[in-house]
Structure formats: C-alpha cells, structure tokens
Amino acid sequence: MSANVEVKVSTKRIKSFAKHILKYWQLYLMLVIPIAYYVVFRYLPMFGNMIAFRKYYAGGSIFGDRFVGLRYFKQFISDRSFWRAFKNTLVLNIGYLIVRFPLTLIFALLINEIRNLHWKKFVQTVSYLPHFISVVIMCGMIKELVSTSGPINQAIVHFGGDKISFISEASWFPTIFISSGVWQSVGWGTILYLAAMSNINPSLYEAAAVDGAGHFMRVWHVTIPSILPTITTLLILDIGGLVGSGAAFEKVYLLYNPMIYETADIISTYVFRMGISGKNFSYATAIGLFEGIINLILLSIANLASRKLTDSSLW
C-alpha cells in the first residue's frame, strides 16, 4: 500500500515537473549557453585546481597526470617566500581596508551635505572617473608622478628635502599601494552609501529635529544607523577578501620590482612568478588553492558573525 502511495506521489511529481518544464521551457532554453559557460569557464578551472595534488606536465591533462598528495603543500608551507607574500597580502589588504573604508563613508557623508546640486553632481562625476581608468594607465601615472624627476619629488626638492626613490624603497610601497587604491575607489564606493542615504525617510530627520537634535547629531543618530546594513554588507565582503590577492595582482605586478619584494610581493604575484614564469604549475596552484580556501573560510566567519550581531548577511 505504502508502495502504491509512493508511486502515486512520484508520478504526480513527474507530472508536475513535466508541466513545469513545458510551461517554462523557453526560460530553461535561455539558460543553456550561460550554464555551459559556467561549467567550462568557472567550474572546470575549479576542478583544475586538482593539479595541486596531481603533478601537471606541460601539455598533459589539465587535471594533472600523477597523484602526489600533499607534496606541494608541504613544500610551500616551508617556503619563506610564500609566507612573506602571505604577510604582505594581509598587511596591504588590512591597511587598505582600514584607510579606505572610513574614508569612503566620510566622503559619502560629506557629499550628502553638499547643497548646490550642480556642484554635487560635478564632484560625484569627477570622483567616479578613476574607477573607469585601466590599471595600466593608473600605474603609468603613478610611475610618472613618483619618479625621481616627477612632480612629487620636484615639490620635495622645492621645499628643501632630498629626493626619494619611492618605487625602489620597500617602506614606501604600502603607502603607494594604499593611496592609489584610495584615489581609485573611494569616489566609486560612495555610490551605495549615497543610495542608501537617499532612501532614508525624511520624517526621521524631522522627528530628530523636533527632539532638538542639531545637524551633526542627526547625522549620527539617523543617517548612520539607517545605512548600517549597507555598511555591514560591504564590510563582510571586504573581510572575505582579506587574504585575497587576485584583485591586487595587476597593480602590484605593474608596480613592483625585486628591491621591494619585501613589502610588495603578494600571493598572486608570487603564484605568477612561480607558476607561469617559473613553470611550476602544480606548486603555484597549491598556493592559489590555499589562498582561495582561506578566503572562503574568512568570508563565512564574517558572514556568520554579521548574521548573529546585526541580522544582515550575504546568505
């Protein structure tokens, strides 16, 4: 009897499933190529990470040819250059986050206070510009600006200082990295905050004004709490990327040189040098995989913490 019920249920399921497909087959058809794309270009490389455990021979299978277990992991765990890159990645990312995150918020609050709408639009437009500039051009500009004959050094000499060779001083690299990052992303970062602020109900401000709150108090008590979910979401994403170095790869690759590896070499540039330049594909993949997994863990922790503490989370 129970078997009969099960059959009934499953035929019912199949029927409703068939109906569903029949009704939405066009939508499913639309998905075919994009899903195939994700399988090939996103998931295959993910499985291609297997070569961290299987030795890859140039020209051989993209999943590696011979199982070697944790050999490459053991190797890089004892590789000092890897740990240097790991440290640099953390330092640069945390430094960048600490500087950029509050600056973006402050900048958004300040823009929100501009009262001349034309001026406001102009400031916004200009501040978005660096976001659209290619990393190549940005690094080209950085090199021109900080070169020993560039304007920054000219200014230093003008005020009686000694020229600084910014590009070859390891101690300067974090500054260059962070400030150029701020230049490029702070303006763009304000978009989401401004959007959130524009959604704040004006009556909240009015109520606060009635309570006698001054202008700045209203910012503190109304604006900030209202955009807190946005802040949290962005912060989770940023924390999830703290060990990530993929996004910084292009900039660091274009700016660094061996004299400043001490502070500039990050995981992705090291992976590149070991992997693509050095042809140690499996070894470099092991490092890349390690990085990816740590990121995933960090992101999950941040997400969990945020869900517990503030109720907003990515998933």
Q: Is 101 in the site for other proteins (CB under 8 A)?
A: no
Q: Is 9 in the site for other proteins (CB under 8 A)?
A: no
Q: Is 175 in the site for other proteins (CB under 8 A)?
A: no
Q: Is 37 in the site for other proteins (CB under 8 A)?
A: yes
- Using the rule CB under 8 A, give the single segment among 3-11, 89-97, 207-215 that binds other proteins: 207-215
Closest contact distance (angstroms) between CB of 305 and other proteins is: 16
Cα 96 from Cα 245, distance rounded (Å): 12
How many residues bind other proteins, per CB under 8 A? 127
Closest contact distance (angstroms) between CB of 15 and other proteins is: 14
- Complex with other proteins: residue 4 or 69, whichever CB lies closer: 69
- Using the rule CB under 8 A, give the single segment among 2-10, 90-98, 111-119 that binds other proteins: 111-119
- Complex with other proteins: residue 92 or 289, whichever CB lies closer: 289
Site string for other proteins, 236-275 (x = CB under 8 A): ----x-----x--xx---x--xxx-xx--x--x--xxxxx
Q: Which of 89, 104, 127, 263 binds other proteins (CB under 8 A)?
A: 127
Q: Is 60 in the site for other proteins (CB under 8 A)?
A: yes
Contact indicator for 128, 188 with CB cutoff of 8 Å: yes
Q: Is 194 in the site for other proteins (CB under 8 A)?
A: yes
Q: Is 181 in the site for other proteins (CB under 8 A)?
A: no
Site string for other proteins, 209-228 (x = CB under 8 A): x----xx-------------
- Complex with other proteins: residue 44 or 309, whichever CB lies closer: 44
